[in-house]
Structure 1
């Protein structure tokens, strides 16, 4: 049996020489670990060993911990300033420095000179801090790993083999990407040397912050001796070998973890005294426009924990709950620390907002009860008034550290520390929406106080104002951490102002008579730091009559759930009179014509004509088809050639059910001119069968949902759901136009929808997939008729039919997935989903592309894909046969038709001759003798060239040509799928007239 205290005692007398302990149960000796690695349970070892000591001649060494950080010197030239920070053993006579730095870009490896340090500080307890600062310019964008390696680590590290002869290696990764913006590495404010006691939970936090405001995460790693090479024999500090198990491994009872968000490192708890080295990465993440977070790099820190045999407990810190604070308001918080042993406490705060990285007026302050150690308990005061330049999407972190001083009761006790992290989100003040007024025919003008001139948030940072709108009021009052527009509130983003000097917006999009629209604004910060404001106060406007015109309003498209069927379904449609129409112009009594909207167009004949305001549409498919209606009010007498406007389209509300192994997820939605999320009637009712023990088919009220808070969404995860049973649901919704003259709430039900828990049986593939109808070329050409050569908005409309044939195919389709590829041979990507059998693929650069559709059932099972259908562009190119280069500003050049030409000649029919989908051209012009007089190449990819040609009648060297006929040949490359149409040659003649 070997006594731990005996070995500790021996260490004091043989420190000039390093020794290794060898052990074997069978006299086949292997080194157990580094210098004086020993095992114990309680205070003694519990297994017999044979021991001999071997002397080593290694030089006393020095490196305990360290990391590499970087800051940008010049973003355009990719120049960075690097700082290597080394924490050293001051008892060693070996200076820090002399190690090698590899920048990972193929450049020369540099060697540090020990005499060129930037700073060398002795912080006590045999610990020093030495820093080296140098610059480096990278050759261009890319991912670079900067590595630093130096001999040697300090001796006696318990959890690795032979630390005295092991190199110290750390690395930092930087990602240079001009599209992501400049970036600096994180900084760490709390030194990586800390003390711990055996049997007592150890706490640490590196105090990391990111100067750019990017998100930070933490992950544990293994200490390294070189690139990709862990140190020999590394064991995590909670390994069972340090708790008395000779086999080691997990299961020793101790835990070792690092919180990935706060960076709190917890080791519960050390078993064996000695020096341990650990390592972790601090990673940066930047949010990009797509909403994804991309990694910007990381810093690896190699840290040392010195564990002693002691009898002490760390202080406890009490901090407020994480919070949000509006910019330019004061945040005050009391931070309290208590020591279980009643030892004095030193309370400190660390974080980027307390550092010199901020201007003095922006910095937070922390004032402890007094200098140095204070009696327990002690309270410090944190204060911060952030300005708008500190608004960002990620919270700031303040790390509080409480250290005790046990020397007053026992000079042999080791001081311990604890950490707590306080998260603070800085939120921008709400914009001030000053006016919302009706300014014409279904047009609303908004005006707000300029955010850049606001007395509460003047800022030079890039800022945009988002404009939101909803039907009816929603008087929500955000709490202090609720920024922007809350989900489920039914607000829709309708506009964006990226000019900080703009303070007006005109809403003339799809506003409907009789509806009250309510508006709110949100300010967003558009630089890398991001962040958003609270929502503005709400202003509302009712859309009244215009020039005496006012339509009927559809109030109900109410499915009869119990009659849901694919052939015998029923929908009840109701509408109002045109109550705000001027009766002196459009005289009553009124009659009505009700139309169904099919594939975006009104049916040729009305479903109903008469004086009633209610109609029951029978004998229709309400099981899996949506229905949309419009109603036209007809006055008895009206001005010649004028009619009352037709109502806005109103659809039924469709319920979708998605099943998993143990729950159903319900969603319902429809296209209605009224809102189905209103403050005065927020509760939608869920009806379900299997609620009456005496009748499993009876539908009764099962649950309610406050859709203004939760959205039109419900999860049924009741414990008694059975896979063998069919569950049927419908929802009764409540809506409103926000108009006192229209009854509210408007009650509309969904279809009855049934499902089983995951059935594993997929639906069949959709059929008859079509893109933009059957005559695609006609569709393409007609799109250009009114575009004046500048069609810059492309979209493809897809339609298909479900395949429901019974047998292997199921009719429980939840939604469809639409896949797209610009070329049929390329990989397809998911571009959207649709609950119905149509989908509009918008924001395209052209019509060209291929599609297939997959049906997804309520259990998430996908069907086979549909057939692939492609849409091609309709190429066209032609040139005129005469031009007059006389400088009168009309027809001065030989060119393809352009918007400017059409505007000048006023020819709205000639734009069929506009070039379409030209990617590049190469034109050569010859005189009547066949001599080349002009040649020109242009490409859409080269913005310095002109695809319109615009030849001014001169040779390439600027010589004017005389009047007469010239011949041309143009090689044109088109952006089309059809290979035979991609490259074509056009030949013709043109006459110069002067």
Structure 2
């Protein structure tokens, strides 16, 4: 805080010295808005930057003078001369630029700021704006590890008019030349370093009447900034005037926040006889670099009165309009906006309609990960210029890299295969788009018809898996991670250098079939059991058995889906088989995944058969699930050599589309499976969602069991198809996320086991008393509310307590206790919990119910109570040794007193006795025997006391209380 105060003082002192030393300088006042950006100096060093502050001056104020920029690095502030950039279209605001070059001393984070002495007068949502400094503070990171960086530039001016009852939208038109990701967040207007202006309020402040309803007459009115698009929306203002709002445009690189540009802008709300224009823009889209993008944008001026004055017969228009791209102007020549062509034509009454033809052919240099935001603006031209209104409409366009071409996949030759060299050779045309850095290679088993529109790379849903990446200068690759007996299909795409990033469209597919001597064609789950599961296996006869020899087979099983070392497999047959089928028994097909390899042997008999080859592995297709409130999603996958998602297969010489079949049975309703549905997996993937039907939705009280019958293909004429394999059976229940209803809570205060009214003190029955602090209890009782939208499977309750006022669950924190629901007890009974041995009963109390799925209800009604403390001191006592009224102690038992600090004064105001309970083990009874602090007896007469008492109260500010009064000592100590 000292540093912040020093910086603000330093800025003010600099301005004061300038005023004294340079009396002919006139400083800018009446500042409406501004923003502060930073860009690297062209051809400069890594830490050489140009700082630019753009301010917007109310022309009714004095002319612009020198500005003050603080670089945030400890160096001297810069006094910068202004440069006028002209005026806004209505002539009411001058645009001023303050620009300075600076070399930062080291890498790091810097807060660069601009200070101006006065804002313009009359801003509604701050105090005395004409005497309030204008201050903007942007943040920048210089970090060579993340690459060179310039801040975003804001291409759309921050002074804009809106109208009462009409939606107001502003967008800064932020553009980052480095291609960094941008996000947006609101902040408050500042008058110094991290110092808000006095009494700043947002336009939708509930204590003000600036907002009431939206443009569509809905409540409440809203004010917000969209963190992704940057649209600042006020729907809708209700009171004319000037309002200032502020926000940050934050830039991100590799997930790290590397800067934030601060804009403080002015919204001028007027009450015109006018309605804003409407823009009908195109949907967000993409374009491949080198291809032309052509779109039509339509805008028109409204001619109906807004909802808050819908009965008006006044002439609202329509008026002539102008339609343009906001980021394009004579002053702005930032690519790629300068390359866009936008030609509007006007028609309709008073030229109140516009059709704009947009065209742009982006180049390779324009490719990047983030979309380009093109903002169209329509402004009308009523008779009075001060009633002009405008509308903004954003359009996001992603520029994608062109797909690599010429991809060819060739399997290894038979010679290579016989020598144990299994691979696929890939070649493609050299990629010529500048800015690309790598070629990414993907593959899948079997072909897939993928025609991307605005998707780059290879999304996971296509089934392609990452293989490797090579430098963009390469145009070939050998994939040695393949097995024989499968058809491998490849696609490639290009990626582009950071920070702009971006990807290309994927290439066309090309496939290579690697022949094998034999193939596993079936791994079919016959039975799903924990100990007695069965899997049916089937494989083909080898194609190249040596003449005069007989083929034999060994079957090996592994656990999991992945390939493992051969010595880790379990041989599941004792002698070599002659048959190409086998049933694998006694398996846990409920929990365990299995895969198989078949070893081919040949010889004249099983005794002399020698191993010759093994198949690639094949697992059974494993089914999994993801349940929701009213749906069950099934997913299945397997590590198999065939294509699980072929487009078609040949059945009885006819080509048929491939559908996987979904079988289902319901516990208690069906004893066997029935065909329930089917999935065209080539387009929908290996997934299915069961939502029941309109007549029979899924029931969260029932269990559903499924299996999938899959159909696959090797896509090779030598292997018969279809390949039919079933998954294991899987039993699923709906996800229970419905919590119980919140309980209805009651509270009773108890004292020594009896009901207590804490604000009434009963007289004591005798002279003896026991004033323990722990004699108070709180008794909570609650009743479970029942409802059709609540679960009734309650198993426990959470009890919440806060010593202070609590209005939400966040105010309580964790539960202070948990209580099980008594087994066998109905939910409608009242349940009891006691807070025992308390020194206080003040606080906030609530209860929640928890069901058997762990869902917790909302809080019950919150009961908030305060203590009614009691501490009364006597007006006389007689320390005379007769055993009666010997000491000065509180009358009756005090209540809810934490500590006492007490001093006695004689009639001349001299303190004669002091007592602090903290020094006496917290004893608040005082028990003064009538002796001074020095041990002398006091004389009879009148005495006074003053002190401070700490009590247990709901609010901390109420806990300290002053006490004062007087009493009489009736006699001295007559026993001595």
When normalised by structure 1's length, the TM-score is 0.63
Q: Partner of 1:987 in structure 2?
A: none
- Partner SS state of residue 721, structure 2: coil
The CA deviation at 1:379 is 2.0
Equivalent residue pairs, number:
669
From 60, 84, 87, the equivalent of 2:56 is 87
The CA deviation at 1:334 is 2.0
From 549, 557, 577, the equivalent of 1:596 is 557
Q: Does 1:117 align with 2:68?
A: no
- Does the Cα contact within 8 Å between 2:67 and 2:115 map onto a contact in 1? no
CA distance in 1, matches of 2:119, 2:616: 76
From 738, 742, 757, the equivalent of 2:715 is 738
The CA deviation at 1:526 is 2.9
Q: Partner of 1:182 in structure 2?
A: 148
The CA deviation at 1:243 is 3.4
Q: Partner of 1:257 in structure 2?
A: 224
Please list, as runs of the form range in 1=range in 2, the aligned pairs for 1:32-181 lying within 5 A after superposition.
61-73=29-41, 77-93=46-62, 95-99=64-68, 101-105=69-73, 107-113=74-80, 116-123=81-88, 124-181=90-147
Note closer, same or farther for the CA distance 1:744–1:294 as it changes in structure 2 (3 Å cut): farther
From 713, 716, 723, the equivalent of 2:687 is 713
From 508, 519, 529, the equivalent of 1:537 is 508
- Does the Cα contact within 8 Å between 1:90 and 1:122 map onto a contact in 2? no
Note closer, same or farther for the CA distance 1:404–1:748 as it changes in structure 2 (3 Å cut): same
Q: Does 1:755 align with 2:735?
A: no
Please list, as runs of the form range in 1=range in 2, the aligned pairs for 1:468-487 lying within 5 A after superposition.
468-479=442-453, 481-487=454-460
Q: Partner of 2:357 in structure 1?
A: 381
- Does the Cα contact within 8 Å between 1:355 and 1:363 map onto a contact in 2? no
Q: Partner of 1:34 in structure 2?
A: none
Q: Does 1:525 align with 2:496?
A: yes
Task: List runs of 5+ in structure 2 lacking aligned partners.
Answer: 1-26, 213-217, 303-316, 649-656, 738-851, 856-976
CA distance in 2, matches of 1:302, 1:641: 86
Q: Partner of 2:424 in structure 1?
A: 444
CA distance in 1, matches of 2:722, 2:500: 43
The CA deviation at 1:644 is 3.2
Q: Partner of 1:578 in structure 2?
A: 542
- Partner SS state of residue 345, structure 2: coil
Q: Does 1:363 align with 2:339?
A: yes
CA distance in 2, matches of 1:383, 1:607: 74
Q: Partner of 1:231 in structure 2?
A: 197
- Partner SS state of residue 614, structure 2: coil
The CA deviation at 1:520 is 1.3
- C-alpha offsets along residues 886-928 of structure 1, whole Å, 9 cap, x if unaligned? xxxxxxxxxxxxxxxxxxxxxxxxxxxxxxxxxxxxxxxxxxx
CA distance in 1, matches of 2:130, 2:157: 22
- Does the Cα contact within 8 Å between 1:594 and 1:608 map onto a contact in 2? no
Q: Partner of 1:503 in structure 2?
A: 475
Larger mean CA deviation between 682-691 and 268-277 belongs to 682-691
From 637, 649, 668, the equivalent of 1:669 is 637
Note closer, same or farther for the CA distance 1:381–1:661 as it changes in structure 2 (3 Å cut): closer
CA distance in 1, matches of 2:427, 2:374: 39
Q: Does 1:307 align with 2:269?
A: yes
Note closer, same or farther for the CA distance 1:703–1:530 as it changes in structure 2 (3 Å cut): farther
Q: Partner of 1:284 in structure 2?
A: 251
The CA deviation at 1:472 is 1.5
Larger mean CA deviation between 432-441 and 520-529 belongs to 432-441
- C-alpha offsets along residues 781-811 of structure 1, whole Å, 9 cap, x if unaligned? xxxxxxxxxxxxxxxxxxxxxxxxxxxxxxx
Note closer, same or farther for the CA distance 1:758–1:284 as it changes in structure 2 (3 Å cut): same
CA distance in 1, matches of 2:211, 2:161: 24
- Partner SS state of residue 495, structure 1: strand
Larger mean CA deviation between 594-603 and 567-576 belongs to 594-603
- Does the Cα contact within 8 Å between 2:211 and 2:237 map onto a contact in 1? no
CA distance in 1, matches of 2:329, 2:365: 12
- Partner SS state of residue 389, structure 1: helix
- C-alpha offsets along residues 505-537 of structure 1, whole Å, 9 cap, x if unaligned? 112222223x22212111111332111111111
The CA deviation at 1:743 is 2.6
CA distance in 2, matches of 1:207, 1:361: 11
Larger mean CA deviation between 311-320 and 373-382 belongs to 373-382
- Partner SS state of residue 645, structure 1: strand
- Does the Cα contact within 8 Å between 1:237 and 1:256 map onto a contact in 2? yes
When normalised by structure 2's length, the TM-score is 0.64
- Does the Cα contact within 8 Å between 2:318 and 2:350 map onto a contact in 1? no
Q: Partner of 1:403 in structure 2?
A: 379
CA distance in 2, matches of 1:79, 1:685: 65
- C-alpha offsets along residues 941-965 of structure 1, whole Å, 9 cap, x if unaligned? xxxxxxxxxxxxxxxxxxxxxxxxx
Task: List runs of 5+ in structure 1 lacking aligned partners.
Answer: 1-58, 545-549, 761-857, 862-994
- Does the Cα contact within 8 Å between 1:216 and 1:283 map onto a contact in 2? yes
CA distance in 2, matches of 1:202, 1:403: 13
RMSD: 3.3
Q: Which has the larger radius of gyration?
A: 2
CA distance in 1, matches of 2:123, 2:580: 87
CA distance in 2, matches of 1:354, 1:497: 44
